[in-house]
């Protein structure tokens, strides 16, 4: 039985980014902090050997309820997945792209997409039909600098130890691209 790859992302911009860089698997918008995996994801899974790549951001302060939901979702998903890999967005996707492009701030990123602010950037980013090549044409683009910052303190607590174990490893985009691209 072959492995089915699922990429769980929080929003449209992440969905577009991941879809541009990976060739196999299914990209689904799902927020681990705010939604129930049982209601949104599990019923869509095919019986197979599954691997989950979970992208989550850290630009919003989370409540105890949200951390509990995150852990509950992880526990539900690991029943279906042979491997769960977390990719933490330190800040948001724009911050990760700035790191990958060696840009000092998001204003420079917005200029690259001819956008005057965050809202316009997101629209243009999602509308970009050749995103992978647009980013690769930038001399400084290094995707291996993405999703590799230290995990947030809350997820270092003992109750989240299983997330950092064999069934819940953390990875950078390097792992993702080396594995799937």
Helices 93-101 + 12-21 axis angle, to 10:
40
* pLDDT at 180 (0 to 100): 43
On the question of pLDDT at 106 being above 90, the answer is yes
* pLDDT at 93 (0 to 100): 92
| pLDDT, tens only, 82-105 | 688 888 888 889 999 999 999 999
| pLDDT, mean of residues 142-171 | 70
DSSP lists the bridge partners of residue 55 as: 87
Q: Show me where the domains of the chain are located.
A: 3-180
On the question of pLDDT at 34 being above 50, the answer is yes
| pLDDT, tens only, 122-155 | 999 999 999 999 999 998 998 888 888 877 777 7
Contacts 24+ apart (CB under 8 A), 60-69: 60/33, 62/33, 62/154, 66/33, 66/34, 67/33, 67/154, 69/32, 69/33, 69/34, 69/35, 69/36
């Amino acid at each position: 039985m072959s492995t089915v790859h699922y990429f769980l992302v929080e929003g449209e911009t992440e969905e577009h980014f991941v879809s541009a860089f990976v060739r196999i698997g299914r990209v689904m918008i799902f927020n681990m902090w705010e939604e129930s995996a049982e209601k949104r994801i599990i019923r869509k899974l095919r019986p197979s050997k599954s691997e989950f790549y979970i992208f989550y951001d850290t630009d919003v302060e989370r409540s105890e309820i949200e951390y509990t939901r995150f852990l509950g979702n992880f526990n539900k998903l690991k029943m279906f997945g042979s491997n769960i890999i977390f990719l933490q967005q330190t800040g948001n996707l724009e911050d990760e792209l700035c790191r990958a492009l060696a840009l000092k701030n998001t204003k420079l990123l917005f200029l690259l997409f001819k956008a005057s602010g965050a809202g316009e950037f997101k629209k243009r980013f999602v509308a970009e039909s050749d995103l992978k090549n647009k980013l690769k044409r930038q001399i400084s683009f290094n995707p291996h600098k993405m999703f590799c910052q230290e995990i947030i303190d809350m997820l270092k607590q003992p109750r989240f130890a299983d997330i950092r174990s064999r069934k819940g490893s953390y990875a950078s985009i390097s792992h993702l691209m080396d594995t799937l691209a």
